Amino acid sequence: MDELERIRERKMQELLSRHNQAGKNMLNSPVHVTDSDFESLIQKYPLMVIDCWATWCGPCRMLAPLIDELARDYAGSVVFGKLDIDENPRTAMNFGIMSVPTLLIFKNGKLVDQIVGVVPRDYVESKLRKHM
């Protein structure tokens, strides 16, 4: 009977581990954010960074690989999203986005910080650490 209980416990741990890993993998890349789902997304995730960008913006394209990298590295801790300001002008207007790229950092649904322009990874991480 003890052996059966150990096997059952081991299997349960394996299932939980797989489930937790699958959940992390689902958010290891930036999510697409729109005007219609913006509010629900910032409320859903305790710490979220929204990259406000535009297709015509060269600096935005320079920052994109860093955002992808950070999304992978911080999966499970920080959720990253991308909001195209041309397709979603309401959200851009609500936050007074005048320059792109702009990173908006939300904690528990509230704007707590923002970064304007292309900045090094260390700078973004130092801002994130303040809110983790």
Going from the N-terminus, what domains does the chain have, and what CATH number goes with each?
Answer: 28-131 (3.40.30.10)
As given in the structure block, the two tokens for residue 23 are 């959940």
Tell whether the model's pLDDT for residue 25 goes beyond 50: no
* 52 annotated active-site: no
Cα–Cα distance for residue pair 65/68, rounded to 1 Å: 5
pLDDT at 20: 57
Q: Which of 62, 45, 44 is nearest to 53 (CA)?
A: 62
Q: What is the pLDDT of residue 4?
A: 80
| Residue 19 pLDDT greater than 60, yes or no | no
Catalytic residue among 27, 57, 67, 85: 57
Choose the catalytic residue: 47, 52, 60, 78: 60
Residue 24: pLDDT band with limits 50, 70, 90:
very low
Give the integer Cα–Cα distance in Å for 119 and 101: 10
Among 11-15, 27-31, 52-56, 116-120, name the one with the lowest average pLDDT. Answer: 11-15
Q: How far apart (Å, rounded) are the C-alpha atoms in residues 124 and 118? A: 10
Distance CA 63, CA 42 (A): 21
3-state secondary structure of 34: coil
pTM above 0.85, yes or no: no
Peptide linkage before 30 cis (omega within 30 of 0) = no
pLDDT at 12 over 80: no
